[in-house]
Structure 1
């Protein structure tokens, strides 16, 4: 421990420093786990769960049951990074005992890696069988917590460790120390016995080439080829991913197939945000199904959906730079977009990028952005609950009249005419 920490105000000083740097709750506990200091003094508390422990007691149980193994050369315990079942992140460091200090713990948190939406909070309450009447109190609690992404959180752990010990620590060392996985429990002889049984009875998993062929058709947007490959896939070669439930096993297989299909679609040129959104949609749908035939049908529909989207969105004629720009424009269409920002993303001179993009697409970058915003506006006009003025504002058109002028340029109709026509067709 650093010499100045041997002074009486050393630990409080570090606590104040960390609080001011991250605006996150910092708690100092003595060797008997009694609170010596909390900054700030008043914070929104986690809603009480009947018959359960409070957050602090829960975290201290983690500390007691997860003593980090140290090599004989190590002088100090390493920080413990912990995430609770309610997605709170906490960071703990046990203070080394020496002549001036009897030990103790510094606790940072709780914090969140990302904001918790109302839908997420409701599903967490459902997971833990808590009444939905508590939703508002949980939302208030979540909104009171600071949000630090994982890498910033890890660096807070490194800073705390260095302030306490004066020693350097890498992110890798931190993660290796915090990752204490429980070993998988295998009944009997586990996978070795299962492997022997499969080989003896020629009950083998599928040839990886069959899988590769199926997802190659998705990457090329070939739905017919995909269906042929899928029909040739031997049902008996699928693995068993749940021993307790055939339905759960089927759902797990479907989720893994959709994950591979997502990667194949991205490799085939589909914008990754579209691919991931499709993946989320289909997996959520499959999770709600109640029987195996419905899961099989939903998986077939999902794989065909990926192939169709790749077919409709092939970008094979574009260079890597052109595809990168198009993907960035798609993901950030609701933000201000500039040639200078795209040049920065592509790592090219703005003038050269402008020439390259127009050569590949036939459009100036500004015209391409304008066209894509109108395509997005067309999709939004078909949705209920959003006005035309809101669409214009969200897509960064200066005013309603300019939006109408540009919309008519690309569609031949005003936004109002387009919405009315679509409404009549529905």
Structure 2
């Protein structure tokens, strides 16, 4: 290998070049090794090496940060180039790129910016220098999936989706409103799967860009949508373990596929399954029994400190769904019913026991006498003492 020529190319092109011999030894043709993904990331070199072994032409890899890396097979090993950028990376974007390859320093060197034809020519020039031959432009483009024309747009006819072109930090492009997102969550909670899918698909048209990489954008869109909908399903009454099982299954499907149509298809299937479960649960005759079972729990545990989460867990429901279901069935909230039961038992003790007001308050589950008096008056329209004085049997007083 002509090392002097490679050194010259490295200086002229201002891009890192690394040679890996057949025994795994690395030779760098630049100075700052600590900030080179090609040196620091074994996984990146493996991707480049495996891609290059599958074809005769140089292999070009585009990562999730829109940085290009190239691999050229030689007679005794591989020559790696990069990163080469089509758009400038700066600030947080630059830090994220370096961090993704395990590089963490206080300051990072800026990356050179090239046009796509320049990147293509650089790879060809280096390949010609190393192997005394180069791939044809069209072969390099097709095999490595490089878009040579800056005006070329990705088209996915299977997906009814529009990706807005926008500059970094440009928020002028329309995004779906918070109200639209809330409408989707409400459709899930109420068990309306068809409406939920329709709302999700409408929002796809107006979603903000989640990644500069189109496929990564779609994948993020699908995964985030499934995660949000699973939380809404839990609020709607779906047991958390069931929601996590459904969402986990479809998130794995989305993560594994590189087919754009399948990503949103899996998202829609997850929505249908989550909302469909809620609908079936609401239509079940046993749904109205949840409130009665909630009452039964309260009657058994009124003397203890009762949390809505504990009741919901005992019924296999989410606290939000249980609260909404109970209010719909009974006309009062769960906490009011708890207080009503406590006041009922306190009333009996006021009339038929010799316990003090503070003892009665603690016995029926109130934290202190003051709060007991406030809640008691809310239900009985008088204080505990006034109630006791008015209704306590004279016969019971005589027995004292």
TM-score, normalization: structure 2?
A: 0.36
Higher-Rg member (1/2): 2
Q: TM-score normalised to the size of structure 1?
A: 0.34
